[in-house]
Structure 1
Amino acid sequence: MNTNLQRVIVLSLLVLLMAATRTHVFTHFTPVPDASWAVFFIGGFYLRNWSRWAFGLLMVLAVGIDWAVITGQGMSFWSHYCVSPGYWFLVPAHLAMWMGGLWLRRNYTGASIPALGRLAAAMVVATALCHLFAQGGFYWLSDSVAEPTVAGWAKNYGDWFMPYLRATAMFVAIAAIAQVVSEQVAAHAHPAARDQKKH
């Protein structure tokens, strides 16, 4: 992605994706899993030149959606089960996803088997760190956990890690397929540039 127009399109799609899926975190009525973690990972990959403000914009959007959903149910945002001092650990959690996408972009030279391996590694590591902050912040700082223990935290971490990883992987896979298709379309649209790269 080189142009501002392309970045605007990507950012707009990410905003729509988060808005369409994040509400299920509190309502549990949406059959599609929450795409928030994938949104930040994909954002780090495509919007690295806009990181200073795009990350903040998406973070404000995430909190705004949470506030709208909770208050829309007639509840106080600050007294909701999911909102505790640990809620603010979502900032470093989402930043971990963004940095994973950013690292992948810095090491990306085009679709290939090694690139796929780096994608998988970056996504797993970023998701593990994100989950560490998000789940750890809630487990250790929320009043909802009466007697937190290391064993209880580890079990809770393990129980929820794979569902979050699967949801993130699903959306990242769609973005990766779109990236490969766009590269193929560009290569066929500009065969001279493709042939020049071979020499």
Structure 2
Amino acid sequence: MNTHTQRAIVLSLLVLLMAATRTHVFSHFAPVPDASWAVFFIGGFYLRAWTRWAFPLLMALAVLIDWWVISSQGISFWSHYCVSPGYWFLIPAHLAMWLGGLWLARHYKGASVAALGRLAASLFAATALCHLLAQGSFYWLSSSVAEPTFAGWWKNYSDWFLPYLRSTAMFVAVAAIAQVASEQIVKHSHAGAQERKQR
């Protein structure tokens, strides 16, 4: 399987994952959490050569899903509680996740304890920045918050950060396990091929 095909498979899986989970984005109590942040992080890791068009494609899909979910409720997109001038900060917020995955890919040389540490650090930093942009823009720019204060913003940020980090990390962990498993399969297949050559 060539690299182009592998990227196409990864992109297709990410599209399906976001389509399956982002429909719950306006319900904080959905049985399956929104995987969007993880999708952009994983996309940055695997699709860096396609960044120029894969990121805009996934971003457009996210907006399209939001529009469809809101419209299907009989509500105008622009009048929904979650849509404010801060909504467009989701572009740099999701880009922060993408860049986190991109940074990890540039420093990834194979599964190791050091690689796990870099994964944890990059995921934490990217999620913290993404949450700052997404939550902060809503808090400070939305008319839904009548009297914004720094203390109120910080409470809101800290209350929601760990749940978002936990759900994002859950999806990224599945991708990391799949990555390690695929590396082991390739390693053993190469070892087997070498053994057969030596016989």
What are the equivalent positions in structure 2 for 1:69-88 lying under 5 Å apart?
69-88=69-88
- 2:5 is aligned to 5
* Whole-angstrom distance in 1 between the partners of 2:184 and 2:93: 34
* Whole-angstrom distance in 2 between the partners of 1:33 and 1:62: 15
* Whole-angstrom distance in 2 between the partners of 1:22 and 1:40: 13
Write out per-residue CA displacement over residues 90-146 of structure 1, whole angstroms, 9 at most, x where no aligned residue. 000000000000000000000000000000000000000000000001000000000
State the SS of the aligned residue for 1:23. Answer: helix
* Whole-angstrom distance in 1 between the partners of 2:194 and 2:86: 50
Taking structure 2 as the reference length, the TM-score comes to 0.95
Write out per-residue CA displacement over residues 63-93 of structure 1, whole angstroms, 9 at most, x where no aligned residue. 0000000000000000000000000000000
| Preserved contact between residue 21 and residue 30 of structure 1 (Cα < 8 Å) | no
- 1:57 is aligned to 57
2:170 maps to 1:187: no
- 2:98 is aligned to 98
| Preserved contact between residue 187 and residue 194 of structure 1 (Cα < 8 Å) | no
What are the equivalent positions in structure 2 for 1:76-155 lying under 5 Å apart?
76-155=76-155
Distance 1:143 1:21, change over 3 A: same
Q: Which moved more, 1:136-145 or 1:18-27?
A: 18-27
Which residue identity lines up with residue 144 of structure 2 in the other structure?
S
* Whole-angstrom distance in 1 between the partners of 2:121 and 2:37: 15
Alignment coverage as a number of residue pairs: 195
State the SS of the aligned residue for 2:15. Answer: helix
| Preserved contact between residue 87 and residue 138 of structure 1 (Cα < 8 Å) | yes
Runs of 4+ in 1 over 6 A off after TM superposition: 192-195
Structure 2 unmatched ranges of 5 or more: none
* Whole-angstrom distance in 2 between the partners of 1:129 and 1:192: 44
Taking structure 1 as the reference length, the TM-score comes to 0.95
* Whole-angstrom distance in 1 between the partners of 2:76 and 2:28: 18
Once superposed, what is the RMSD of the aligned Cα atoms?
A: 1.6
- 1:23 is aligned to 23
| Preserved contact between residue 187 and residue 193 of structure 1 (Cα < 8 Å) | no
* Whole-angstrom distance in 2 between the partners of 1:128 and 1:194: 45
Distance 1:41 1:3, change over 3 A: same
| Preserved contact between residue 46 and residue 105 of structure 1 (Cα < 8 Å) | yes
Which residue identity lines up with residue 48 of structure 1 in the other structure?
R
Structure 1 unmatched ranges of 5 or more: none
Which residue identity lines up with residue 131 of structure 1 in the other structure?
H
Which residue identity lines up with residue 177 of structure 1 in the other structure?
I
| Preserved contact between residue 23 and residue 30 of structure 1 (Cα < 8 Å) | no
- 1:171 is aligned to 171
